[in-house]
Amino acid sequence: MSRSSVVGYRAAISVFALFLVADVASAATFGFYCITDNLPGDCAIAEAAFTVDVTDGGAGYVDFTFTKSGTDAANLSEVYFEDGSLLGLSSVTSSAGVVFTGGSASPPDLPGGNAVGFNVTAGFLAEADNPAPKKGVNDAADWLTITFSLINGKTFADTIAAMGSDLRIGIHVTAYASGGSESLIAPPVPVPAAAWLFASGLTLLGWLRRRRI
């Protein structure tokens, strides 16, 4: 490989690395995977429909915004957190028609969470007000944001690094057409932005390697 090719290769990788870091510096999106599997079809609906955007709220705060896509019947009725870098639940805000109360939920533990060692931190949960099928996140226009303060000295980057390990998010989804319910947990890999960037990076690396031949 010529010196100019080496320089170009390293420069391209550096640009990609900076792009990736910049993308997750203030926000990351996570999907969920089903842990109960009461009905595989219901699990598939929820996995395809629900995501959480984790956003830097500034001044020691992090926002977790839950949304739904698609038109299949499914309602996000409860949200649960393990603490990780989180200190305390600060506020709960939502779109019109979505009403959640923070600090408690029924059931108080994520259904099926014991199977994956999910331990809800005291007070780190929220529930849709009654009637939950109407007050939860059940439409593409709905959103729910739960804001947490961070442990002193912790940062947004620490929060993202903890996702999937000592910081996990559980959701309980109800009001399926089947009448069933499912529990899901946020996975350790952010989607779709970081996944797209990773795929783009592989494409870039492949292009650069072809240039070397």
Report domain extents, the chain.
1-26+189-213, 33-186
Q: Class for domain 33-186, per CATH?
A: mainly beta
Alpha-carbon torsion, ordered 187, 146, 125, 150, to 10 deg: 80
pLDDT 10s digits, 89-112: 999 999 999 999 999 999 999 999
Categorize the per-residue pLDDT at 5 as very low, low, confident or very high, splitting at 50, 70 and 90: very low
* pLDDT grade for 126, boundaries at 50, 70 and 90: very high
CA distances from 78 to 127, 141, 179 (A): 4, 18, 16
Contact 76, 141 (CB under 8 A): no
Pairing status of strand 86-94 against strand 50-58: unpaired
**Average pLDDT of every residue of the chain:** 82
Closest to 134 measured CA to CA, from 180, 172, 100: 100
Residue at token pair 């007000």 = 129
Q: What pLDDT does residue 165 have? A: 80
The pTM for the full model equals: 0.78
As a whole-number percent, the residues of the chain with pLDDT over 90 amount to 71
